[in-house]
Every structure is written in structure tokens, then in C-alpha cells.
Amino acid sequence: MPELVLTVEGQPLRVPAGISVLAALQGAAHWSLRRSLSGQRRGALCGMGTCFECRARVDGVLVRTCLIPVQPGMTVELLE
Amino acid sequence: MTALETDLLIIGAGPAGLSAALSAAQGGAAVLLADLGPGPGGQIWRGAKASDGGESGTLLRGVQRQPNITALYGAQVALSERGPQGGHAVQFSTPQGPRRVLAQKIILASGATERFLPFPGWTLPGVVGAGGLQAMVKSGLDVRGARVLVAGSGPLLLAVAAGMRAAGAEVVGVAEQASPTRLLGFGLAAQRGGKVGEAAKLLWALRGVPYWPATYPVEASGGERLTQVELGGLTRRTLECDWLAAGFGLVPDTRLAALFGCALEGGAVKVGAWQQTSQPGIYAAGELTGIGGVDKARLEGSMAGYTATGQVERLRDLPTQLEQARHFQASLSRSFALRPSLRTLPAAGTLICRCEDVPHAALQACPSWTEAKLQTRCGMGTCQGRVCGPAAETLYGWTFTGVRPPLLPLPLADLLGE
């Protein structure tokens, strides 16, 4: 399978092409993607754009990472 | 913003939306098919390709061959208003910025979302939806060697468990809240509905996996992520696992229909015999008119596609087939009705609204949704009640009434149409 490289939290990450940004984050063991209002760890819940738990900044824009396919050179920053 | 003009706008590219697009395009109408996801298929056919075998591949090839179908992916409806020359003007939010569509008629095929029920620990990373974990794996999550516990309710649980096994996970068990008697009733209905082959394939794929009826998760625990789940009900035990895939049935996604002012009935979009909603020129097809699975969605999609484009001569025996599919739908909701004891799962401190961190105790003190919003901000956070709405419906009997434009958080520039 072809691969591509993106930058996650400042680190280069090689992932298979065609996967979601969420799958790329999970593949790098980023299970916790944000802190809740009271400081609890939160990860993805619904996988289909409903819960907004997997949101992160991709190339500076806040998106639901489960809905966005990875692209070469993408920069991903967690909200944590 | 330049507008895309079309005869028919179809929102949702799952089985219902794809069937509607094909039927409508056969009569020569210009069709714009929009979906929130990065490609066609919806949830059940996520990642489907035209080269695939089976009914999804056949349908996708049919859609691809129609030159008058245009697809717009990664697009979610934000706003809608009356069009300048009648019809509707719909504003989509896409990763490339806002897109405006002018359509004479609309078919809504927004499908369903999963119902999540809160229990202590359900907010830990590693606790996900059942369909949710299936979606994540289809989008590239690697579960090889991971221990997965599937729980909740409905026939989806078996499909998810089989999918996880096929993806290399170790399925430690399936906990179904419905009682053995109800499950037997569903088995008989499935048999009458000609679903024996499908069921046999699933059971073969799941040989050796424990299936616990009348059983449900009572607590999930772990440090930074899930490590352990305690089951209660008929089978009480504590299991080590990496993922808890828990979904308590599907809920029609009626938000879009509510935005367009379509009447709802019993939690679903109310439609007439030809899939028309209460709003002129707007039709609805698939799970949003009542949970019934792929067959019902495909038939309703075809019906809506033909009627929205005036091809009534093509309907033939569709109404009869639909009636059969709806019998199956009724047996689904009877067999997998949620047991009242699930309402006692949350502890006082268990969060119900994950966006605003509102605990069960704070909501128990409220008489209604409106009061809960005013007092606690429940349902007013980022997801706008998409998760806590169906949960609160089950826990407190409240009907969610919070749909207002825009349907999702928008950058101010998109709202101003710059």
C-alpha cells in the first residue's frame, strides 16, 4: 500500500494512504485527543462525524479528524 | 459565492441516496448527490468502490455511468432558505469553504446515528460506538490482536463483531441487552423476511465467540484509556479489553429534516406513500423515516427518486416490496426495545453531556430539555445534543428540540457568505 508522511504534534508520521486523520492519530497511540471542560481525557466515540470528540487542528483548521482523509505534508495539532 | 444549480439535490450518499440518485437520473434529471463523508456508501457501505462485488458495487457502477449525476463529498448542510426562483437554496460547509446549491427538489437521505447510553466510565478513551468502531476500522484503524468487547443492542452488534474478527481483532464477547425471548422473536421474523442466509453467514463468522443476551455494560474502567469492563444483567463478569464497542440501537437522523421544517412523528421523519414529507418538493428516504436496514432504505430511495422526478410509471411493485420491508422494521423495534433497567446505569456523577460535562444528578433535577439547557447547558456544546439528545430521551423521556440553523459550528466568514 502506498504511504505518505504527515506531521503530528511536530513529529513526522508515516501512514498508509487513504486512511482518516483519526486512524493516523490512533495508529500513533494518540488515544486521548482533547481534555474535557473538567479536564478529563477524551478520545473518538462515534467515528462518523456526530460526536465531535475527535476534533483537532489540521493545517490550522479545526476539523473532525474522522471525516478527513490524510494528505502528504498535512500538519496535525491536538487540542490537548 | 457562485451557486451550483440542479433539478434534484440528494443529501446523503448511502444506500437510500445512491438508489434515489440512480432512479432520478434514469429519467434525465440533473442530480447533485452530497455527503458529509469523503466518498459514497454512507455508514453501512463506508469505503465502498465501484469495483466491489455485491449490491453496493452494482449500484455504484450504475451511478457512475450516469453523466447527469454530480457528487459533492465532504459537504455538510449548514443553512437553507427559499431559492430566488422557487425551490431551495442550501448552503454546504466543505473543507474547501462554503458551497451554495440551488435545487428545485430535495431528497433527504441523512440516515441514522448511534444511540449511546451513559454508564460509569463511558467517557474513557477506548469506549466507542459499535458502528463507531466499525467505521474507524474501515477508515484505517488497526485492531489486529486487540481485544474487543461488543455491547449494546440490535443486529448491528453481530455485524460489528464479525467485522472486528475479520480485521484481526480478538472478540472477547457480545453482550446484547435484549432478552432471549425477544431475540427468538426477531429470529423468526428474520426467517420470514428471507434473511436466513445472511444470519447463517454471520453466525459462522462468529463461531466460538460468547454471546450473552440480557446483558449490558455497567462500568468501564482504566487509567488513560480503557482496560476493563464489568458486565451486568443475566451474565455478570469482568473482562479485560482494549475496546468496548457499545451502541444501543440506531436513531433516525432528523436534524436536516427539522431544519427544512419537515414534520416528525415518533422520532422519525413523517412521509406519505410516495416518500413525500410535509414540505412541498422535499422527500425523505432511508433510516431517517424509521430504522429498517438496507433493503428498506434502497426501496425508499428508488421510490423517492422516481416520484420526485415524475416517473410514476417506473414504480411497478415497489409499494408491495416496501410493505414487506416495513414489517421487518416493526419486528426490529419490538425485539430490541431498550429494557428500563438501563436507565439506572448512570451514577450521580456519570457525565451525560460530554461537551459541557453535565452529570446525571444535575439532569435528574430538571423537568424538561428546555429547563436542562437553561440550568446546565446540556446539549448546548459542540455536538449540539447529537450524543446526549438520544441518551436523554431514553434516560429521562425528553424529546430533543434544539435544531436551529446553522446545523454545525461555522466560521463567521462562511455565515457572511464571503
Residues whose CB falls within 8 Å of the CB of residue A73, separated by 6 or more in sequence, listed in order: A5, A6, A7
What is the distance between the alpha carbons of residues B352 and B122, in angstroms, rounded to a whole number? 9
pLDDT in tens, B370-394: 999 999 999 999 999 999 999 999 9
β pairing state of A11-16 and A3-8: antiparallel
Residues from chain A that touch B357, judged by Cβ atoms under 8 A, are 36-38, 40
pLDDT band at B416 (very low <50, low <70, confident <90, very high): low
- Backbone CA torsion sign across B348, B349, B353, B357: positive
Sheet holding B215-222, edge to edge: B215-222, B226-233, B237-240
Q: What is the pLDDT of residues A2-36, one digit of tens each?
A: 999 999 999 999 999 999 999 999 999 999 999 99
Q: Which of B11, B134, B139, B414 to substitute to test the interface with A, most A CBs within 10 Å?
A: B139
Interface touch A20/B357, C-beta < 8 Å: no
Q: Is the pLDDT of residue B203 over 90?
A: no
pLDDT above 80: residue B310: yes
pLDDT reported for residue B414? 74
Model confidence pLDDT, tens digit, residues B227-240? 999 999 999 999 99
- Tell me the ipTM for this assembly: 0.98
Q: Is the pLDDT of residue B294 over 90?
A: yes
Element (H, E) at A13: strand A11-16
The contacts of residue B319 (CB under 8 Å, 6+ apart) are B273, B303
Confidence of residue B279 (pLDDT cuts 50, 70, 90): very high
- Give the gap in angstroms from C-alpha A14 to the nearest C-alpha of chain B: 13
Render pLDDT for B311-345 as a digit per residue (tens, 0 to 9). Answer: 989 988 899 999 988 888 888 888 999 999 999 99
Q: At what angle do helices B318-335 and B180-192 cross, to 10 degrees?
A: 170
CB-CB: which of B74, B139, B382 is closest to A66?
A: B139
C-beta neighbour count of B312 within 10 angstroms: 10
Cross-strand bridge partners of residue B273? none
Kindly indicate the confidence band of residue B210, based on its pLDDT and cuts at 50, 70 and 90.
Answer: very high
Lowest mean pLDDT among A66-75, B187-196, B207-216: B187-196
What are the grid coordinates assigned to B224, written together? 488513560
Q: Does position B417 have pLDDT exceeding 70, yes or no?
A: no
Work out the average pLDDT over B68-83. Answer: 93
Set of chain A residues whose Cβ sits within 8 Å of the Cβ of B130: none
Q: Which of A47-51, B10-14, B183-187, B248-252 has the lowest mean pLDDT?
A: B183-187
Q: What is the pLDDT of residue B401?
A: 75
How close does chain B come to A6, measured CA to CA in Å? Answer: 15
Q: Which residues make beta-bridge pairs with B93?
A: B76, B98
Q: Chain B closest CA to A13's CA: distance in Å?
A: 15
Label the pairing between strands B127-128 and B243-248: parallel
Q: Please, where are the H alpha helices in B66-179?
A: 130-138, 156-166
Q: For B55, which DSSP code?
A: H
A52 to chain B: nearest residue by CA?
B383
With bands split at pLDDT 50, 70 and 90, how would you rate the model's confidence at A1? confident
Q: Which residues pair with B222 in a beta bridge?
A: B226
Q: Tens digit of pLDDT for each residue in A44-57?
A: 999 999 999 999 99
Distance CA B111, CA B290 (A): 9
Shortest CA gap B314–chain A (Å) = 34
pLDDT, tens digit, 9 for 90 and up, residues B346-376: 999 999 999 999 999 999 999 999 999 999 9
| Residue B30 C-alpha from the chain's centroid | 27
Name the residue facing A41 among B43, B125, B135 (closest C-beta). Answer: B125
| 8 A C-beta contact, residue B363 and residue B392 | yes
Full DSSP string of B91-120: EEEETTEEEEEEEEEEEE---EEEPP---T
pLDDT for residue B289: 97
Between CA B129 and CA B281, with CA B48 as vertex, the angle to 5 degrees is 85
Q: How many CB pairs under 8 A join A and B?
A: 121
- Average pLDDT of span B49-53: 92
User: What whole-number distance in Å separates Cα of residue A38 and Cα of residue B380?
Assistant: 16
Q: What average pLDDT does the segment B139-148 reach?
A: 98
Higher pLDDT, B402 or B294: B294
What percentage of chain B has pLDDT greater than the value 90?
81
The CATH number of the structural domain formed by A3-77 is 3.10.20.440
CA nearest B122 in A: which residue? Answer: A45
At residue B191, the pLDDT reads 81
pTM score of the predicted model: 0.94
Any CB–CB contact under 8 A between B95 and chain A? yes
Instruction: Say if B349 is an interface residue toward chain A (CB within 8 Å).
Output: no
What is the Cα–Cα distance from A73 to A23, expressed in whole angstroms?
Answer: 16
Q: Is B144 within 8 Å of chain A by CB?
A: no
For the residues B273-277, what does the mean pLDDT come to?
96
What pLDDT score was predicted for residue B189?
80
